[in-house]
Amino acid sequence: MTKTTTAIITAVIIGAALASIGIFLRSGINNLAFRDRAVTVRGLATREVQADKVTWPIAFTTLGNDLPSLYDRVTETNKTITEFLTSNGIDPSEISVGQTTVFDRDAERYGSNSTPYRFNLTSVIVVSSNKVSTVNNLIKQQGELIKKGISIDTGYQYQTIYEFTGLNDIKPEMVAEATNAARESAVKFAEDSGSKLGKIKTASQGQFSIEDRDTYTPYIKTVRVVNSITYYLEH
């Protein structure tokens, strides 16, 4: 065999080897690149629930110039409101009477007293109950108290508060629902991209939020959670 023939054979062998290595490397790189392909999706779960706890502050004001007689009137009004509540389904243990606050207009250093009354007494009776429907009905009937001469204060600081305390009971189902919603989105993406959905790479659960459904029905709450999941994409 001549030196020229040997050189040619060696060159062919080396070329074939390099080609094989190139194919192998290219395949490995492609597989590595594909293995790193992933898609991040979010799954939303929402649920409407009824509030199961209500806090209803009933504030009233009493005006006058004789402080001892005003306190007597406050005591009588507290009794009237309490009787109104207990006679309509509220248990005495669900009622608390707050401390009466006194505002003395003559004690004000600045400003003038433009009213004929020196003292303004404010008292608050708080109803804290799980009987949301019962309390809602009583709120609609509080005009009966006004008819008896009780001045109900409806200021912002005395707004009724509705709560939903059963979140732990519905958490597992909502998490599963959000996870399934995320997976459905990931499967659709994989199909559209000509891939197959692989294993979960990372997953995180968002915070649960509980909000009023709207401003008119604060006793109906919307519970919401969003899960974020990253899946690998495969050939």
Residue labelled with tokens 């204060």 = 153
Q: Is residue 16 part of a domain?
A: no
Are 95 and 133 found together in one domain?
yes
Same domain, 175 and 196: yes
What single letter denotes the amino acid at residue 167? L
- At residue 23, the pLDDT reads 42
pLDDT (0 to 100) of residue 9: 52
Q: How confident is the model at residue 1 (pLDDT cuts 50, 70, 90)?
A: low
Whether residue 70 lies inside any domain: the answer is yes
* Band of pLDDT at residue 154, cut at 50, 70 and 90: confident
Q: Which residues contact 73 (CB under 8 A, 6 or more apart)?
A: 62, 64
Q: What's the domain count of the chain?
A: 2
pLDDT value of residue 106: 79
Residues 208 and 119 in one domain: no
Q: Tell me which of 22-31, 166-175, 190-199, 201-210 is least confident.
A: 22-31
| Same-domain pairing of 142 and 126 | yes
- Pair (158, 58) in one structural domain: yes
pLDDT digits (tens, 9 = 90+) for 14-65: 444 444 444 443 544 445 444 568 999 999 999 999 999 999 999 999 999 9
In a domain, 95, yes or no: yes
Tell me whether residue 19 is in a domain: no
Grade residue 3 by pLDDT with cuts at 50, 70 and 90. low
- Same-domain check for residues 110 and 57: yes
| Cα–Cα distance for residue pair 49/56, rounded to 1 Å | 20
pLDDT of residue 113: 58
Which is more confidently placed, 177 or 111? 177
Looking at 102, 128, 163, which one is the last position of a domain?
A: 163
Q: What are phi and psi of 31, to 5 degrees?
A: -65, -40
Is residue 3 in some structural domain?
Answer: no
Q: Output the pLDDT for position 45.
A: 97
Q: What is the pLDDT of residue 22?
A: 45
Supply the range of the domain harboring residue 122. 53-163
Same domain? For 126 and 222 the reply is no
In this prediction, residue 5 carries a pLDDT of 56
- Specify whether 61 is located in the same domain as 154: yes
* 114 and 204 housed in the same domain: no
> What's the rounded mean pLDDT across residues 115-140?
94
Of residues 122, 60, 54, 61, the one with CA closest to residue 89: 54
Looking at residue 178, which CATH number applies to its domain?
3.30.110.170
Q: What is the CA radius of gyration of the chain?
A: 36
Please indicate, yes or no, whether residues 65 and 97 belong to a single structural domain of this protein: yes
Q: Which of 5-14, 32-41, 132-141, 180-189 has the lowest mean pLDDT?
A: 5-14
pLDDT at residue 44 in the model: 97
Q: Determine, yes or no, domain membership for 5.
A: no
Identity of the highest mean pLDDT range in 11-20, 77-86, 106-115, 116-125: 77-86
For residue 153, being part of any structural domain is answered with yes
Q: Which of 114, 137, 163 is the last residue of a domain?
A: 163
Asked if 170 and 47 count as a contact pair (C-beta separation under 8 A), the reply is yes
Q: Which of 115, 139, 163 is the last residue of a domain?
A: 163
Shared domain check, 147 and 71? yes
